[in-house]
A and B are shown apart, each in its own frame.
Chain A
């Protein structure tokens, strides 16, 4: 309030105002104390109304070349920094303290804000596989750009080492470093396609490391990589296979919220086509669907030609070598989404507060004649629930009193004899009856079925002479499938 009044005076330097208007002293004490904390030559600019913005504006030097990612820190679950990489000058680890502070505040690791502001830097982090990937940037950069890149780093690690965990990264620290060096140049992504990277840095295998150690040869390609230069950056040249095969997995996930009474609040299908293509040479593939109109929204691997999709609804592409996600799609047919199972639930707590009763029954709903497998029901219980003594007619259940999660692993769903889980829950002594309702999450799997009805029509190959082996597999899974109680 004070500030606004004194700053609104035109062209007045802060000091003159302070001496002229005695009653405004308070405000100027604030200002001068603020100035004290800044370097002295900043005084004139600090008195501009932009003062209120934030202090870092003032101390950012006039010439700061924008760079994207300055540094990367890998932090494990317990908060140790176990790897750091700087693409420009070194930034001290202390910058991570801001992050740790935020991590302390957050109840769950997922709740740590992905973007944090510190006086001199911005911290953008992701949480994957129980690790934090924390990048430091100094200036404006699209946050999604950084986040997406970090995820790409994780995916590259997974691709190289099979998993992305602290031990694996520590064991392969040199490869990791080489990868990071290649992926980012001066903070700007350089080579992120795994095919190019693999040409430059060979992924470690046990056999090769043995041989390398014994012979002293490196895991670097002696031949210089050509992928960067090729017209098709995602495919390396000179691929050779004796068995030429192309497999496509159509994996669909049902995201749904079903309310208490069993009616669907919202439901949608998210699908993805994972491909494993091992073909010699430069094959040009065309994948067509029986019913491409089903697809409401699609996104593609860069290899897919947009225009052909727009025009003919076929996927035409020169595939990367090996495993990749060809496309992901979305089927938004609110009413058409078949919900394969239902869960009848009755969870109640006694008024007295001493315990409660739980009764769950799962049954098939619209399974399209296929069997539901891998059915797992997870219930997040209220905090007051201490333990559960239940009996399951099928499968087994576990209750973790620390996380308050009840997991009932049913397995294959038998339509003749519906699995049931019932019994009593015991509450913390003296705790009031919980008001919040547990929510039920369902995981399941149906083989040989794409629940949206999507069907691959055919796969044609051009550009190469041989006849590849082709295969398509359909799987339906439950995605974020939730039953409210």
Chain B
């Protein structure tokens, strides 16, 4: 060591001495001039002592320490953990070397020294004594040295505050550098130095950087905020000001970081977000992935405080209908709820989703495609917490995708999926197989998958799941087998049909060789038997025998409890078991002892003759037990059951107390109540509140004022130069219908688009039914109701009537009506999940040049699209999307991140585009799901008017109903879709249910449904068939066959079902109407009853009577007078086409203030016209 040191010191010191006179610059120059000679010379001297290692050092060269060549012989020793005392001696020496090197003028030496120091820091060695030597080099010109000095400084500044201050001036100089990167890096290091005394300097630096020209520096400023805050929380107020300023920043670079700062410093200041909300939503796609996560999480919280619960009404409606896995208690008080629900519904005004809420959902959805699991999870939790029920499904696919990722990711995702499956089972049902377990999965993943599978189990898939479980039981992983057995138990408790199967399976497991398996089975069997003990006394006997073999305490305790509880079923065995147990009492575990006492007590009460002595014996043993619980229990039991003279009243009731009926246990998922934690959070994962966790607030009762999010457009004009004027207009427009109290805006735009409005909204309705049908059982009627609702909504808005009252009035009046009416009312009061469509399509008036050309084409093809959509709903959404995209492509510049990216261009759509653009984007995501959902699963809907096809008495227990689902019949557009529901109320199963054509009228065609092979007793099944009625109301006579019988049945369509809605504008309508005059026109006068006066009721009734769509009305009125609509008599128009021939059916209802209203029907087919008049008249006047 010492000779080497000498070698070393000589040249270095010599150089130093020479160069002290010269200034440093010269030194550098010299070094530059002779890059090889002087530093290399030093190097060689330095390493010459250790020849063999030299090469190796050179190879690993820059990497320094780890491979650090010659010094390792000394260095290594102290580095090993707890490695000898020698380290203490060599350390100061070595550090001297390093100091030496740091003091040198050669960058290469400094670099070498710094590398070694950093390597030491990395290994957790203390190098704080080098601080003075290192900190001098902070101004070093060599970037790499500088960087490493920074690393050191940040690590040790806290310990050496005074010395650290030496470096501050360097950074302050750096903050003024013309190069943005240097400014940023200076701020970064300055803010990382945790020295309280520089807080004012930091504060100043941050403030300055926050208004820096470079977004990168501003980003760094945002990063510095939490650092300063943790250093000195006193600065909070000032920091909030900076945050507020940075939040207004328009660049994607800053957005993520500043929201992070916001979350750390002032998450409670939600008001700071208002003005930036829309901007954040729009920027989101282009923010870097980590920032996305933070922003999405923050926006989730924000939305929870600002918007209304989109599922509130649905919750009320569906809570009974949707049988959740654990919803048994909910089912019980369903009936009471029903009344309450109705009440609540009639009181509540229809839900309208805030357009900003919609904006958030729409802009986050594409992020489900992110490669970053954290982003996907963030979006998933946002949808789970914020989206309307029907839309939550889109996240399932993305989450399932994450299951392919690393096992840690799987672990977290599965935990969240497990929580979600409890609330929304339907969402993951299509992906059941993705949760199947492979033997190579780690155990913790297996157990979580098992949890998910159990949550997903339902009557329909239980057989598949149980088959899977069977294979799992044979696994080598015993923990997993035990978990599987528990899962089987849970399935068995919740799905009654399979209880016996499961029980038998578990009993078979009792003969398994593995004791753990047996023990687990015993525990589960015990729980199952408790549900119906009388049937299974042989199982109890079998288990009694097991006490000899099973040693696992829990299992023994379970068996004893079971025998005691059901001792009357095994009167002979029970005392014998007690005898054996009394023998081994002292050696048992505590839980077993307690159960022995229990068993003794129960036997004493039922069979005191045989067991009196045994019980006494056991109680005596227990009296001297070490465990006080057991002593307590023994004392208590003795007092209770053994009659003594002074014993109190209690012993009279001993039997009642001890032999009371115990309720069967409910096996619950450990994930049951986890969803009160925000999904995806650490707290959720641990199921305890982690420090710093922000509670997810509950939805507000009433929405706070949405206008707080309005942004003054003018103010931000300079920044917005890049976004098109259209965009700006849009921004204003969106707000207008919702936020402006007076309709100050001009009319023409309104009227122009109003034509497309209702068409689009109703289109949305039908679309939704196609795609959203996944979970809600009422999807079909919902689609209708949405349609109505939205139209009604729009209408209400147009007329500027207060929407609430009329609807309410109608609802109340209607509530007295027949049940069918009530059903309708329910339909109506379901809120439309989205209403943005209207507002957004308001800006349809400004089509781009290109779209203008194609506009007419568009609107024509739109009809086709429409038709196609009718035929193939799953595909439908993509079509308009496509068109969207083409337009969009034109204006898509290269990704423009630095400046505010205009709001997603879909808002720009030509007039006459039936699908409003926003809707299109909404549906994009939905369309992803419907490919997965099998189209065959059309949920039975209670609220469609259904007709009886086969009475249950004539059908010998088979009960068949049919209704017109009004869905397009996919295989043949000329057919009417008839939804048939079979209910087997007989005791035996019905087999091979099918239809056979009997005598059809000429021209009529029938498309049968696929044969139902088996319909078990008590089950029901729903199928859809198509009938071409040839536009006549003649009944289709059919033969319904079962495996044993044939029934003649007939389906008779009401005339209103023979048509499909057709979408047209008012002008088109008038034109068509003009061509269908004379014989084709039928007019009828009528007196509308009081409650039918308002348009909502009219529209609703007409549409209920006939499958028509409403023609957007009001353009004639609103065109002329923009402000309040004239109080003139409203005219309602409806249009449709007959299914087979496609003849137009036009219905006009003209109401008059006083006097009779007029109903006009124009239809080529006079017969249909006449019949329709009757039907509609009836519907309206009833």
Contact = CB atoms under 8 A, between A and B. Distances in A.
Interface string B105-127: 01110010001001101111000
Most buried by B among A178, A190, A228, A299: A299
Contacts of B600: none
B1181 interface: no
A323 to B, nearest CB: 14
B413 A144 contact: yes
B1071 interface: no
B64 A173 contact: yes
A363 interface: no
B158 A89 contact: yes
Nearest to A208: B62
Interface string B57-98: 111111111110000000000000100000000000000000
Contacts of B439: 380, 439, 482, 484
Contacts of B293: 142, 145
A229 B216 contact: yes
Interface string A201-227: 000101011101111111110101100
A312 B894 CA distance: 17
B633 interface: no
A247 interface: no
A88 B229 CA distance: 13
B409 A284 contact: no
A101 interface: no
B122 A117 contact: no
Contacts of B409: 144, 147-148, 151
A126 B373 CA distance: 14
Contacts of B436: 257, 265-266
A135 to B, nearest CB: 11
Given A66-B264, A308-B885, A312-B885, A174 B63 contact: yes
A218 B63 contact: no
Interface string A138-182: 111111110111010000000000000000001111111110010
Nearest to B905: A307
A229 B143 contact: no
B1102 to A, nearest CB: 37
A149 B60 contact: no
Contacts of B223: 185-186, 188, 190
Given A214-B36, A480-B440, A140 B693 contact: yes
A395 B881 CA distance: 53
A197 to B, nearest CB: 13
A111 B444 contact: yes
A302 B378 contact: no
Contacts of A212: 61-62
A37 interface: no
Interface residues on B, range: 35 or more
Contacts of B376: 299
Contacts of A54: 688-689
Given A66-B263, A435-B513, A482 B440 contact: yes
Contacts of B124: 81, 84, 93
Interface in A282-333: 284, 296-302, 305-312, 318, 325, 328, 330, 332
Interface string A84-103: 11101110010000000000
A383 interface: yes
B571 interface: no
A122 interface: yes
A66 B150 CA distance: 23
Given A122-B682, A147-B409, A185-B223, A213 B904 contact: no
B290 A189 contact: yes
B143 A204 contact: no
Interface string B573-617: 000000000000000000000000000000000000000000000
A204 B63 contact: yes
Interface string B869-906: 00000000000011011101100101111100000110
Interface in A422-440: 432, 435-437, 439
Given A115-B686, A225-B181, A177 B118 contact: yes
Nearest to B397: A297
Nearest to A52: B688
Most buried by A among B180, B443, B691: B691
Of the listed residues B119, B265, B376, B513, the one surrounded by the most CB atoms of chain A closer than 10 A to its CB is B119
A474 to B, nearest CB: 20
A216 B35 contact: yes
A484 B444 contact: no
A173 B693 contact: no
Task: Name the interface size band of chain A.
Answer: 35 or more
A194 interface: no
Interface stretch (A38-46, A56-64, A365-373): A56-64
Contact of A224 (B181, B288, B434, B881): B181
A143 B374 CA distance: 8
A81 B82 CA distance: 13
A299 B370 contact: yes
B142 interface: yes
A53 interface: yes
Contacts of B369: 298-300, 306, 309
B406 A151 contact: yes
Contacts of A382: 476
Contacts of B475: 436
Contact of B885 (A125, A142, A143, A311): A311
A330 B401 contact: yes
A108 interface: yes
A192 B144 contact: no
Interface string B169-195: 000000000011110000010011010
Contact of B372 (A89, A148, A265): A148
A226 B115 CA distance: 25
Nearest to A161: B63
A268 B150 CA distance: 50
Given A140-B692, A306-B369, A172 B885 contact: no
Contacts of A471: none
Interface stretch (B746-754, B924-932, B987-995): B924-932
A297 B703 CA distance: 36
B347 interface: no
Nearest to B512: A435
A231 B895 contact: yes
B411 interface: yes
Contacts of B897: 231-233
A80 B9 CA distance: 36
B61 A82 contact: no
A28 to B, nearest CB: 18
A188 B262 CA distance: 13
A93 B686 CA distance: 23
B681 A318 contact: no
B147 interface: yes
B884 A311 contact: yes
A185 B264 CA distance: 14
A173 B181 contact: no
B177 to A, nearest CB: 11
Interface in B414-440: 433-434, 436, 438-440
A204 B227 CA distance: 32
B949 interface: no
Given A174-B119, A432-B513, A65 B264 contact: yes
B151 interface: yes
B404 interface: yes
A86 B229 CA distance: 18
12 contacts: A54-B688, A86-B155, A111-B443, A170-B67, A175-B62, A185-B220, A212-B62, A219-B62, A265-B433, A299-B369, A308-B892, A380-B439
Given A117-B688, A144-B680, A328-B371, 18 more contacts: A57-B689, A65-B264, A83-B123, A84-B124, A126-B406, A142-B374, A151-B409, A173-B122, A174-B119, A177-B119, A219-B144, A224-B179, A229-B181, A257-B436, A257-B438, A266-B433, A311-B884, A437-B474
Name the 9 nearest CB pairs between A and B, nearest first.
A311-B885, A216-B108, A139-B692, A65-B230, A218-B144, A213-B61, A266-B433, A110-B442, A170-B66
